[in-house]
């Protein structure tokens, strides 16, 4: 046999070395997988073997301050499929589609997906769930679920907000406290083979969900009801764009009510509430429809800013008293106008100047000239200091989405003399309704700016308190002395000034009216106003602060005239509910005993009408800008012959040039079409019959005014 040469030996040695290295590497790799990667690979294997179906947790309940449920969960059921376990997808798809009123092809597509589990339909009814269980279809699982439900529908919708189909909070308290309300989901765990088929005797496990914590709000359902009812009536009466009514406990900063109208139903937040809204949305492209939803969901009370006008004079007056630049003995002279660097600023009563007036009379009269001088004496440094101290320019602390901080001067350098003058009576600054309410609360509680509180506490399923949110003082703004002085001054506004519409016998109500031109796209919009009224009651022991804001009213737009009665209703209802007993003065007691028949002062001159009413012990208000001695009373409320108590206020409506309107052609139109046309023209009309228009009086083309009563005859067909 031939002896191997040296080269063959070397090749054999090399091959043996390679084999040894490969065996060594495989041995090391096997050891690494079995020992070092054991836990990770075992976890991966378990994930492949096991499939889970989520079980949603119940959201926490939302209660009002007295334990009334404002947001709850109602039973619902979700249908899941395990496609690999379904032997005949076509048959199963037909059975499910017929039962759940679904598209058969859509169900079949879901059943044929190459996934471990697939959701078929969420939130089926209890009856549907019972029928589905009777079918006992392998591969179909029914999971007990819950659906968020708001039992009072559109009640307090801007506070509560709403959730999505998966019960995640999208707006309002549902969103900002979602981490507390949501809870921890559970899971159904099953073991499957490589083809996703459930293995028999696999020991299916159910991990129960953990319910979320419940919220106790500061909102009082009854007071919220008063505010909602009053806001809705004000919206109808004034034909305004928006109405917002806020009620607060000034001592704690607790928000007791926040009503915005129009509103939405959180159970169906994307559905229109009115027929008019439905018709409008039907003509909007689908990609633009979300913009309409966002408009509806926008919380006017915290997300919209406006120039407050005369309600802001409370800040100027309080700052002047606190700094000592004015006192109750200070006098101001009003000749109707005041010039600042050549710019003429008018008082609302420029045609009938207030002349010499005390500090209190200046507030009662809401005299712009007096407040311009008050602001100039105070100085721009102090003015800006108190604007910030009252919380303007920053958020209130309420935990809701979309709150704005408002707009204030950045520093004293930008406050010129004319800016200081207009700031003194509430122009050149933008605030939210909630900021204004908090300012009135600061006046009421002794001068403490409170953080607005909306949630009192978090509780578990047994009712145990998990977390409390205590009242918080943000800063001390005024002394007790200034606060008490301002309360007495504001009471004078309601008793003898522009706020007389909010007067309630037996209750000491203080307040301030405001009327301001609205700013649109950075400019004052002619004919568009915001009317407001802030109130505190009772001033001797403040229990509530109330703010009413009416955005773009049609017709009369003065805060005292249209917002005053709204404040009166809310304050009286709320104080009665809080069991605050009225305390009648001797004068009020005597007045309550006397009933007076309202005289007819129509067609009288304003000075004659005023004397007639005053002689009988009645008061009156007009709030028209251009009054002269020749102004004639066109109408009045209450009407002649009505019985009122002594001291009641009679609204007088003065003569104005009627605006002529051309009668539209209504022939052949339906009742709904006619109503829409004539409502837009703000005309009075009467229907006779039903169906379509066959006759109209006046005829098309005739001139008419707002007082014309139009008669429409309708006939079926």
- Structure confidence at residue 193 as a pLDDT band (50, 70, 90): low
107-112 contacts at long range (C-beta below 8 A, 24 or more positions apart): 110/81, 110/83, 111/81, 111/83, 111/86, 112/83
Least confident range from 10-24, 289-303, 617-631: namely: 617-631
Q: In the 3-class helix/strand/coil scheme, how is 277-345 assigned residue by residue?
A: HHHHHHCCCHHHHHHHHHHHHCCHHHHCCECCHHHHHHHHHHHHHHHCCCCCCCEEEECCEEEECCEEE
- Which pLDDT value is given to residue 139? 85
- Structure confidence at residue 696 as a pLDDT band (50, 70, 90): confident
- Give the residue-averaged pLDDT of 494-502: 90
Q: What is the C-alpha to C-alpha distance for residues 151 and 129, in angstroms, rounded to an integer?
A: 23
- Structure confidence at residue 657 as a pLDDT band (50, 70, 90): very low
Average pLDDT, the chain: 85
Pick the CATH number of 51-217 from 3.40.640.10, 3.40.1160.10, 3.40.50.300, 3.90.1310.10: 3.90.1310.10
- Which pLDDT value is given to residue 4? 63
- Which pLDDT value is given to residue 636? 81
DSSP of 585-642, one letter per residue?
-HHHHHHHH-EEEPP--TTSBHHHHHHHHHHTT-EEE---SS--TT-BEEEEESPTT-
- Structure confidence at residue 717 as a pLDDT band (50, 70, 90): very low
Predicted confidence (pLDDT) per residue in 102-120, tens digit: 888 898 888 888 887 888 8
Whether 499 and 558 have beta carbons less than 8 Å apart is answered as no
- Give the residue-averaged pLDDT of 388-392: 96
Helix (H) or strand (E) holding 524: strand 523-537
Residue 506: closest CA among 595, 567, 571: 571
Count of CA atoms in the C-beta half-sphere (13 A) of 337? 8
CATH class of 587-654: alpha beta
pLDDT(75) > 60: yes
625-628 contacts at long range (C-beta below 8 A, 24 or more positions apart): 625/348, 625/351, 626/351, 627/351, 627/352, 627/654, 628/351
Question: What pTM, to 2 d.p., does this model score?
Answer: 0.74
pLDDT(209) > 80: no
- Which pLDDT value is given to residue 188? 62
Taking the domains of the chain in order of start, what are their residue ranges?
A: 6-36, 51-217, 301-583, 587-654, 661-715
Positive or negative torsion for Cα 253, 256, 261, 265: positive
Q: What is the C-alpha to C-alpha distance for residues 96 and 112, in angstroms, rounded to an integer?
A: 14
Q: What is the C-alpha to C-alpha distance for residues 661 and 655, in angstroms, rounded to an integer?
A: 18
Q: From residue 660, how far is each of 526, 680, 696, 699 by CA, in Å?
A: 20, 15, 18, 15
- Which pLDDT value is given to residue 479? 96
- Which pLDDT value is given to residue 345? 87
- 82 vs 349, residue with greater confidence: 82
Q: What is the C-alpha to C-alpha distance for residues 274 and 262, in angstroms, rounded to an integer?
A: 10
- Which pLDDT value is given to residue 218? 97
- Structure confidence at residue 656 as a pLDDT band (50, 70, 90): very low
pLDDT(591) > 90: no
pLDDT(257) > 70: yes
Identified catalytic residue from 214, 303, 310, 366: 310
Residue 70: closest CA among 147, 145, 146, 157: 157
Torsion of CA 86, 91, 94, 98, to 10 degrees: -90
* pLDDT more than 70, % of the chain: 88
**Three-state secondary structure call for residue 267:** coil
pLDDT(567) > 80: yes
Predicted confidence (pLDDT) per residue in 313-346, tens digit: 999 999 999 999 999 999 999 988 888 888 888 8
Q: In the annotation, is 310 catalytic?
A: yes
Q: What is the C-alpha to C-alpha distance for residues 678 and 402, in angstroms, rounded to an integer?
A: 37
In terms of C-beta density within 10 A (0-12 exposed, 13-18 middle, 19 or more buried), how is residue 24 classed? Answer: exposed
Q: Spell out a b/e string for 569-608, using b for 16 or more CB atoms within 10 Å of the CB, else e.
A: bbbbbbbeeeebeeeeeeebeebeeeebebbebeebbbee
- Name the region of 309 (left: φ>0; alpha: ψ -120 to 50; beta: rest): left
- Which pLDDT value is given to residue 36? 66
- For the chain, the straight-line distance linking the first and the last C-alpha, in angstroms and rounded, comes to 123
Predicted confidence (pLDDT) per residue in 210-233, tens digit: 888 999 999 999 999 999 999 998
Residue 73 has phi, psi (to 5 degrees) of -115, 135
Count of CA atoms in the C-beta half-sphere (13 A) of 643? 4
Q: What is the C-alpha to C-alpha distance for residues 598 and 456, in angstroms, rounded to an integer?
A: 49
Q: Give the 3-state secondary structure percentages of the chain, helix then strand then coil, rounded to 5.
A: 35, 25, 35
- Which pLDDT value is given to residue 588? 72
Domains 51-217 and 301-583 share a fold: no
Residue 462 has phi, psi (to 5 degrees) of -90, 0
pLDDT(9) > 90: no
pLDDT(180) > 70: yes
Fold classification of 661-715 is Trypsin Inhibitor V; Chain A (3.30.10)
- Which pLDDT value is given to residue 395? 93
**Three-state secondary structure call for residue 492:** helix
Residue 448: closest CA among 634, 248, 150: 248
DSSP of 142-165, one letter per residue?
EEEEEEEE-TTTTTTHHHH-EE-T
pLDDT(658) > 50: no
Q: Which two tokens stand for residue 11?
A: 């090749």
Positive or negative torsion for Cα 311, 313, 315, 321: negative
pLDDT(679) > 80: no
pLDDT(583) > 70: yes
pLDDT(660) > 70: no
Q: What is the C-alpha to C-alpha distance for residues 148 and 150, in angstroms, rounded to an integer?
A: 7
pLDDT(364) > 80: yes
- Which pLDDT value is given to residue 49? 53
Give me the architecture of the 301-583 domain, per CATH.
3-Layer(aba) Sandwich (3.40)
């Amino acid at each position: 046999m031939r002896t191997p040469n040296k080269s063959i030996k070397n090749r054999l040695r090399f091959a043996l070395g390679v084999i040894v290295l490969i065996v060594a590497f495989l041995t090391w790799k096997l050891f690494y997988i079995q020992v070092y990667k054991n836990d990770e690979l075992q976890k991966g294997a378990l994930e492949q073997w096991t499939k889970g179906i989520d079980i949603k947790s119940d959201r926490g309940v939302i209660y009002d301050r007295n334990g009334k449920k404002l947001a709850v969960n109602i039973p619902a059921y979700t249908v899941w499929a395990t496609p690999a376990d379904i032997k005949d997808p076509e048959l199963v798809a037909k059975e499910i589609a017929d039962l759940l009123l679904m598209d058969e092809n859509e169900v079949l597509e879901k059943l044929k997906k190459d996934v471990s589990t697939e959701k078929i339909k969420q939130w089926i009814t209890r009856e549907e769930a019972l029928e589905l269980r009777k079918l006992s279809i392998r591969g179909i699982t029914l999971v007990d679920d819950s659906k968020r439900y708001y039992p009072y529908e559109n009640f307090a919708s801007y506070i509560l907000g709403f959730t999505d189909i998966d019960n995640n909070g999208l707006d309002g308290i549902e969103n900002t406290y979602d981490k507390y309300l949501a809870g921890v989901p559970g899971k159904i765990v099953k073991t499957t083979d490589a083809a996703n088929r459930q293995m028999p005797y696999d020991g299916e496990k159910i991990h129960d969900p953990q319910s979320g914590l419940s919220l106790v709000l500061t909102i009082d359902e009854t007071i919220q009801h008063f505010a909602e009812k009053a806001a809705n009536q004000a919206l109808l009466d004034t034909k305004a764009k928006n109405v917002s009514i806020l009620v607060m406990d000034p001592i704690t900063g607790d928000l007791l009510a926040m009503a915005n109208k129009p509103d939405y139903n959180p159970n169906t937040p994307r559905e229109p509430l009115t027929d008019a809204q439905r018709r409008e949305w039907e003509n909007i492209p689908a990609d633009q429809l979300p913009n309409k939803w966002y408009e509806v969901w926008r919380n006017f009370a915290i997300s919209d800013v406006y120039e407050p006008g005369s309600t802001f004079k409370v800040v100027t007056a309080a700052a002047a008293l606190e700094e000592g630049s004015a006192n109750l003995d200070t006098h101001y002279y009003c000749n109707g106008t005041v010039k600042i660097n050549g710019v003429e600023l008018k008082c609302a009563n420029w045609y009938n100047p207030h002349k010499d007036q005390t500090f209190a009379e200046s507030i009662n009269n809401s005299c712009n000239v007096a407040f311009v001088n008050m602001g100039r004496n105070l100085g721009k440094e102090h003015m800006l200091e108190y604007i910030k101290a009252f919380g303007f320019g920053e958020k209130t602390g309420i935990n809701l989405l979309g709150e704005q901080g408002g707009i204030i001067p950045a520093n004293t350098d930008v406050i010129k003399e004319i800016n200081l003058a207009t700031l003194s009576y509430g122009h050149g600054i933008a605030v939210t309704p909630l900021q204004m309410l908090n300012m009135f609360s600061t006046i009421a509680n002794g001068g403490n700016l409170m953080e607005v509180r909306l949630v009192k506490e978090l509780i578990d399923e047994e009712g145990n308190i998990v977390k409390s949110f205590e009242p918080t003082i943000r800063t001390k703004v005024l002394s007790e002395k200034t606060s008490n002085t301002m309360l007495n001054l504001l009471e004078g506004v309601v008793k003898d000034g522009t706020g007389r519409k909010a007067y309630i016998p037996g209750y000491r109500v203080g307040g301030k009216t405001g009327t301001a031109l609205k700013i649109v796209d950075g400019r004052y919009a002619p004919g568009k106003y915001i009317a407001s009224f802030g109130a505190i009651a009772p001033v001797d022991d403040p229990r509530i602060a109330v703010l009413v804001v009416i955005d773009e009213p049609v017709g009369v737009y003065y805060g005292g005239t249209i917002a005053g009665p709204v404040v009166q209703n809310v304050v009286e209802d709320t104080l009665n509910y809080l069991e605050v007993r009225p305390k009648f003065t001797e004068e009020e007691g005597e007045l309550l005993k006397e009933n007076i028949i309202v005289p007819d002062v129509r067609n009288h001159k304003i000075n004659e009408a005023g004397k007639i009413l005053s002689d009988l012990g009645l008061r009156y208000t007009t709030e028209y800008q251009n009054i002269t001695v020749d102004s004639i009373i066109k109408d009045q409320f209450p009407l002649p012959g009505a019985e009122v108590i002594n001291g009641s206020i009679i609204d007088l409506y003065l003569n104005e040039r009627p605006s002529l309107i051309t009668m539209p052609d209504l022939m052949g139109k339906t009742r709904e079409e006619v109503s829409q046309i004539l409502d837009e023209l703000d005309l009075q009309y009467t229907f006779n019959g039903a169906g379509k228009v066959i006759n109209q009086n006046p005829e098309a083309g005739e001139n008419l005014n707002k007082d014309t009563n139009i008669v429409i005859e309708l006939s079926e067909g």
